[in-house]
Every structure is written in C-alpha cells, then in structure tokens.
Amino acid sequence: MQATLSPSTDANMTPRDRQLLAHPPYAQASIPQQFQRHIVDYTRKEQPGSILVDTDARYLYYVLPDGKAIRYGVAVGEEAMAFSGVATVGRMAEWPDWVPTREIQERLGPYPSRVAGGPANPLGARALYLYQGNKDTLYRIHGTNQPEYIGQAISSGCIRMANADVIDLFGRVKPGATVVVLPPAAGTASVGPFSARRG
C-alpha cells in the first residue's frame, strides 16, 4: 500500500480552536508516524465522503475520489469494539459538552453529570454522533485530551482522534455521511488496503 505522510495543518482551525489548544491542560504526545495523517490508496467500494473505521488496525479512513483516502490514527475502546456495521453522521458538534452515561458514571465513581466543552473535556475539539435511522447509537468519533493513546485500545471511549486530526476530519465530513465500522478481526486480514497496517 502506498502511503504519503500528510503534514498536519491547522487550516480548518478557528480562532477559538487556536486559543483553546495553545496551552492545553495535557501533555503533548509524540504520535508514532504510522498513526499520523497519511494519504493512502483505497480500493474498497465506499463512496467518496464516507468514513471507514478499522478498529483492529486503529485507523479511520476518510474516502476521497480517485481511489484515495485520508488515513488517521485513532484510539479505540470498549464501546468501539462493541459496535460494528453501518451508521450515518446524525449530529456534529464543536467543543461539545460531555454527558457521561450511567455506566460510565458507575465505572468512574463520583463524576459531574455534564462536563463543559473545552480542552480538558474527554470529547476534545469535535464530535461526530453516529446514528442508525433516527436512533443515536451512543457511538462517537471525537477528539481526545489523551493523545498518547492514539494507536492503542484503551479501557473506555469510542473512537478518539488527535484534536488536530478530528478538526481536519470535521471540516471535510457532511451531515448524513455514511460510516462503516468493521467488526474486530474482520478488517485488516480480509481487505486489501489494510494489509500493510503495521508498516
């Protein structure tokens, strides 16, 4: 698979983004090169403007025209592993508030019922809310205040992206876009463009 490193840019960042991310309340992480943003060959059938998530390989693909895609590194969690199939982007939010579910509240112990949007918020700079029909799947693609986990499976959270990457993706995605989430162990071994996922 041909992959070209796509330098991270802040072209899609708003003045508010730059202000909030200038001095984030978390350590900057060095993301391994294979999980940095790349332009890659894409041979699957998804239409341009679609998203494909390969949870096993820790990659998210935004499909471009002419057999190309932007590949972003992601962190996946328990909820990510529990959901597979086809959804649509039902809602999009900048610097979203986070409302922990009852299960998360039980796991984390005493925790605020709502966390205001901002760089300390676990949802990060952007969130894409995935729906099936009119029903929220509770599955999210979102930023993170723990960029050191990009490329890993961690104990909680949906699909986490570095804030610069989720801002870039958010600027490309249209409401209603198709999102395909491959089931664990079905993605990388069986489809062409992911066979060189570790390289």
Kindly list the catalytic residues. 142, 158
Name, in order, each residue with C-beta under 8 angstroms of 45's C-beta and a sequence gap of 6 or more: none
DSSP letter assigned to residue 117: S
Q: Is 74:128 a contact under the CB 8 Å cutoff?
A: no
DSSP string, 45-113: SPPTT-EEEETTTTEEEEEETTTEEEEEE-EE-HHHHH--EEEEEEEEEES--B---HHHHHHH-S--S
Contact indicator for 133, 150 with CB cutoff of 8 Å: no
Q: What whole-number distance in Å separates Cα of residue 64 and Cα of residue 101?
A: 34
Beta carbons within 8 Å of 133's beta carbon, 6+ residues apart: none
Residue pair 36/174 in contact (Cβ under 8 Å)? The answer is: no
Residue 129 corresponds to which tokens in the numbers above? 């809310």
Angle between helix 163-172 and 15-22 (nearest 10): 170
